Structure 1
Amino acid sequence: MTLHIGLLAFPGVQQLDLTAPYEVFASAQGTKVHLVWKAVEPLISATGLELKSTVSFADCPKLDVLCVPGGSGINALLRDKVVLDFIRQQARTARFITSVCTGSLVLGAAGLLKGKRAATHWNAIDFLPRFGATAVDERVVRDGNLITAGGVTSGIDFALTVIAELFGENEARTVQLSLEYAPAPPFEAGLPKQVTPDIVAAAQQRMAASRAQRERILADL
Structure 2
Amino acid sequence: MHVQIVLFDGFDPLDVVAPFEVLHAGRTATGGAVSVELVSAEGPREVTGGTGGLTLRATAALDPGRPGWVLVPGASGRIGEPGEEAGEDTVPVLLGRALTTPLPELMRAAMAHPEVMVATVCGGSALLAMAGLLEGRRATTHHLGMDLLDATGARAVDARVVDDGDLVSGAGVTSGLDLGLHLLDREIGPRVAHAVEELFAHERRGIVWRARGPEPVAF
Specify if TM > 0.5: yes
For residues 58 and 64 of structure 2, the distance between their equivalents in structure 1, rounded to whole angstroms, comes to 11
Q: CA deviation at 1:66?
A: 0.9
* Stretches of structure 1 lacking an aligned partner (at least 5 in a row): 185-221
Secondary structure at the aligned position of 2:102 is classed as: helix
Secondary structure at the aligned position of 1:123 is classed as: helix
For residues 45 and 116 of structure 1, the distance between their equivalents in structure 2, rounded to whole angstroms, comes to 28
TM-score normalised over the length of structure 2: 0.76
Q: Note if contact 2:121-2:176 (Cα within 8 Å) is conserved in structure 1.
A: yes
Q: Which residue of structure 2 lines up, in the alignment, with residue 69 of structure 1?
A: 73
1:177 aligns with 2:198: yes
Secondary structure at the aligned position of 1:96 is classed as: strand
1:80 aligns with 2:100: yes
Q: How does 1:1-221 map to 2 (within 5 A)?
A: 3-28=1-26, 29=30, 30-37=33-40, 38-47=42-51, 48-57=53-62, 62-71=66-75, 72=91, 73-77=94-98, 79-80=99-100, 82-91=102-111, 92-182=113-203
Secondary structure at the aligned position of 2:136 is classed as: coil
Report the CA distance shift for 1:98/1:60 in structure 2 as closer, same or farther (over 3 A).
closer
Q: CA deviation at 1:143?
A: 1.4
Report percent identity of matched pairs. Answer: 33
Q: Note if contact 1:70-1:100 (Cα within 8 Å) is conserved in structure 2.
A: yes
Q: CA deviation at 1:106?
A: 2.1
For residues 95 and 58 of structure 2, the distance between their equivalents in structure 1, rounded to whole angstroms, comes to 16
Secondary structure at the aligned position of 1:124 is classed as: helix
Q: How many residues align?
A: 180
For residues 37 and 12 of structure 2, the distance between their equivalents in structure 1, rounded to whole angstroms, comes to 17
Task: Find runs of 4+ consecutive structure 1 residues off by over 6 angstroms.
Answer: none
* Stretches of structure 2 lacking an aligned partner (at least 5 in a row): 76-90, 206-219
For residues 124 and 60 of structure 1, the distance between their equivalents in structure 2, rounded to whole angstroms, comes to 26
Q: Which moved more, 1:148-157 or 1:108-117?
A: 108-117
Structure with greater helix percent: 1
Letter in 1 for 2:2: H
